[in-house]
Amino acid sequence: MASMRLFLLTTLVMVAFAANSVLNRMALTGDETGPAAFAMVRLAAGAFFLLALIRLQKKSVPWRAYGRVWGVLALALYVLGFSFSYVSLQAGVGALILFGGVQITMFAGALWLREPVPLARWIGAGVAFGGLVVLLWPTGASPPDLVGAILMAAAAFGWGIYSLLGRGTVDPLGATGANFALALPLGVACYLILPDGLTLRGALLAGLSGAVTSGAGYALWYSVLPRLQSSVAAVAQLTVPLIAVAGGLVLLNEPLSLRFAFAAALVISGVGLSLWRTGQKAQ
């Protein structure tokens, strides 16, 4: 029963991550809303929502918890790098760089922490990532923009570190609220240095992203992470681009292609292979 609950919570988090990527790309389509403004509003909405929720529960905010500064810097690096990278990167290539970088960071963290990583998990991660390459790499595309690729790689590193730090949290809601609130000044400083536009539509999308798919989603992720090995948490995130594309098929009536079906089979098979021994051990 506990394993099923953990699976459902992890799936819900992955859906929130996929929705977050869609909202970010929707807001930055065109020239009306810029990445600095979007990132600032996203952090502000997340901070306001989470701190209000903490206050309603009459809890204290762990401002000075050990390692807080690293969580704040990692979150800011991810949010800002993610927003600015999509100005010059195609969505598919950006997702590959992001989740490839997250895999490298979190698997390296697992080795650093001396966590056992079975051979099946290494193979499964490779198969699942291969599925993402099949799904997301544009046909006949030119090499990705160098600056955009560096920014997305930085975002991947930030998110990987943020996820690794979350494995040690005892107060997921408080830790996430404090991280968002303390990262907000960095977002404001970035906007003041690189000011850009913000439409009402962009602000609403950024607010939804910050409060729900980022704020609530990241707090839930922090509640799940202590029960997952770092390598398992890394592999699970490879399903996020697949969920985002599947959402387009369902919500936008996009056609189902053979390429998507093949890629989905690879991703699901790879994730299943990665978790196979974990499931056996739990039983």
pLDDT at position 92: 72
Q: How confident is the model at residue 279 (pLDDT cuts 50, 70, 90)?
A: very low
pLDDT at position 258: 83
DSSP 69-94: HHHHHHHHHHHHHHHHHTTTS-HHHH
pLDDT at position 1: 66
pLDDT of 282 over the 50 cut: no
**Which region among 21-25, 97-101, 225-229 has the lowest average model confidence (pLDDT)?**
21-25
What is the spatial distance between Cα 234 and Cα 113, in angstroms, rounded to a whole number? 14
pLDDT at position 58: 79
pLDDT of 160 over the 90 cut: yes
What is the spatial distance between Cα 217 and Cα 12, in angstroms, rounded to a whole number? 8
Angle at which helix 68-85 crosses helix 35-56, to 10 degrees, equals: 140
pLDDT of 55 over the 60 cut: yes
pLDDT per residue as tens digits for the range 58-106: 788 888 887 789 999 999 999 999 999 888 877 677 888 888 899 899 9
Question: How far is CA 65 from its chain centroid?
Answer: 23
Give the chain's radius of gyration (CA, Å). Answer: 18
Q: How confident is the prediction for the chain on average, in pLDDT?
A: 86
What is the spatial distance between Cα 187 and Cα 39, in angstroms, rounded to a whole number? 6
pLDDT at position 140: 62
Secondary structure letter of residue 13 according to DSSP: H
| Non-local CB neighbours of 35 within 8 Å, separated by 6+ positions | 28, 80, 83, 84, 86, 87, 196
CB atoms < 10 A from the CB of 277, how many? 15
237, 14 Cβ separation under 8 angstroms:
yes
Question: How far is CA 29 from its chain centroid?
Answer: 20
pLDDT at position 131: 87
pLDDT of 159 over the 90 cut: yes
